[in-house]
Structures are given as C-alpha cells and as structure tokens.
Amino acid sequence: MQHTGYHRSAVVMMAVPVQGRIPLSNQTNLAREPYHKTGPQLPTPRTNERHFVSEYGSEILAYFLEVERVVYSERLYIDRQSEITDRMRKILIDWLIDVITEFKLHSETFYLAVDIIDRFLFFYNIPRTKLQLVGITAVLVAAKHEEIWPPTMNDCVAVTANTYTPREVIGMEFDVVTALRFKFTVPTTYPIACRLLESCHMSPTVRHATFLFLESAAHCYPLLQFLPSRIAAGALLLGAFLIRHNTSQDAIPLQRLWEIEVYPFAHGIRFEEVQPVTEQLLPFTQRLCSGSSRLQAVRRKYSSHEYDCVAALEFPFVSTSA
C-alpha cells in the first residue's frame, strides 16, 4: 500500500502515567450520519430507516448533551506534556484526515480517533516520537468500534512508512484501551452535528460547509475547552453563515442567523455559549484553508467539487450584533 507521508521528527514507547464490540456500535446505530458518503449524488435523509431512528432524534440529542458534561468535564492537557505541542497535534490530525481517506473509513471513525488521542494524552505523558504511534493506534481502535471492516495491522504499520512494528502498535493499543477503560461510545462533535443538521433541515452545501468547520475544529486544540455540542453548534452556524455570505444579497448578523436557523432546535444552547467557539474557529479555519498553510488536508478535501468547493469560498467578516 502506498503510505501517506509523515516525518518522524515532526512528532521515542513507553507511555509514562501522569496521574468487544458488535459490528455497529450504539453510537453508530443511533447517530450514523446519513450523508457520510457525501458527493455529487448526495442522498436524501433516510428518515424512515430504523437504524437512524429519526423519530427519536430530539431525545438522542438531549442524551448526548447530558452525557458530554460527564465525559468531557476537563480536556486540556498540553501544559502537562513534556514534549508534545499544539503544533505537533495539528500535524497529526491533518495526517489522520489523509489516513482516513486512504483507508476509506467513515467520518465517525475520524472523530472518535481524535477523541481517543485527546483523552489518552490527558492521562499519559508521551515522547514526541511516539505521537504518530498514538495516532495510528487511535484510528485502529476507532475503526474496530465503528467499522465493519477495520484496517489490518499491516496496513496500519505501512501507512506510517514502517516507522513502528506491529508489536509496538499492539502494545500501544493495550495502553489506550486500558487508560480509557474501553469507553468508546461517546458523544463526539460529529453525531451531535449530524443530529443538529437533521433537525435544522440544512441544505447539502451547508452540510459540507459545516463539516469543513468541524474538521478544522478537530485541529484546533484550544477548542477542547468547550463541550462538543458547543463546537458542533458553532460549526453548523458558521457553515450556514459562510454559504449565506456567498449566495445571498442580504447581510445578516451571526446572532440573528442563530436565532432564526439554529436556536429553535438547539436544546437550550445559547448564542453566548457558541459565540466564543465561532470567534476562534472562523479565523482558524480561514488560515487553515489558505494557500500559505502547511496543513493542506482540509483545504484539499473541501476544495473539491465533491464537497461543493466550500473551502474556496470567501470567508465572511463576523458581525454579532442583533
């Protein structure tokens, strides 16, 4: 298999402590986004399919919002890492997007892998040369949880240019599942965004723009201070704002757009809780999608016609006044 490049020096294994699944998980059954095979022939919402249980969408979203307060009460960890930096994490996440694409895995797997990385690094201090090992192991664990056919161990080793051995991946997998106590059915930003998109009846182009901001948010370490629901809601709001800015003659403040398009379906999430997310995420995404950025996975993916070239659109200036 042709491997995706990732320079060893950019990110040696023993993680130093700081302080069975069925083919489709419950999270997947309840939250699998019906548009994950996005493209020119974007499917219509499969609201009548049993596994998506759209009639219980509101209850599922309410449950996600309840559980996230327990799972994600504290997430920031970089200050406790002796070698890992925010920049290294961004490089790793950008590489993971290409890995997910190369392995043809679902979006659920990407977001769960990112979540596994962050939760593991919250508990373990690792050397920089093992960060990529944590990343590919997180993909393997997430794929075993979300996919019917996860990548093989040989594929995982090959995609790192044989930087690590199968034994090292297995060892890291043991460390990860032990540290996280096999808790992988969690409300990441992705299923929350999918439920919000369904409730708000957004267009396919807005969905693409939402996932542009959501994948960008996965790169942005400071956003870990916010709950996944606030990040998901902020990504949706910015997605709708970006498309409106490029297609409508009528300018509308961000807060007003929230009140009209999102708030009625947001289960009480207030604009004041989402605004700090949008203030960081919009300029961050604009920089990430610029030609001068060294991290090109998001820009390359969302500049394609498959995703309506949303990364190539003009980014708006945000006005929050009513």
pLDDT digit string (tens) for 224-257? Answer: 999 999 999 999 999 999 999 999 878 889 999 9
C-alpha–C-alpha distance, residues 212 and 176, integer Å: 28
Same domain (yes/no): 66, 162: yes
On the question of pLDDT at 271 being above 80, the answer is yes
Same domain (yes/no): 151, 263: no
Same domain (yes/no): 167, 221: no
The number of angstroms, rounded, from the C-alpha of 300 to the middle of its chain's C-alpha atoms is 16
Segment holding 124, helix H or strand E = strand 124-125
Instruction: Please answer whether residues 104 and 134 qualify as being in contact, where contact means their C-beta atoms are separated by less than 8 angstroms.
Output: no
Residue 22 sits in a domain whose CATH number is 1.10.472.10
Residue 13 belongs to a domain: yes
- For the chain, what is the total number of helices (H) and then of strands (E)? 13, 2
Q: Where does the pLDDT of residue 58 fall: very low under 50, low under 70, confident under 90, or very high at 90 and above?
A: confident
| Residue scoring higher pLDDT (73 or 278) | 278
Residue 43 belongs to a domain: no
What is the structure's pLDDT at 250? 80
Structurally, the chain folds into a number of domains equal to 2
Same domain (yes/no): 14, 155: yes
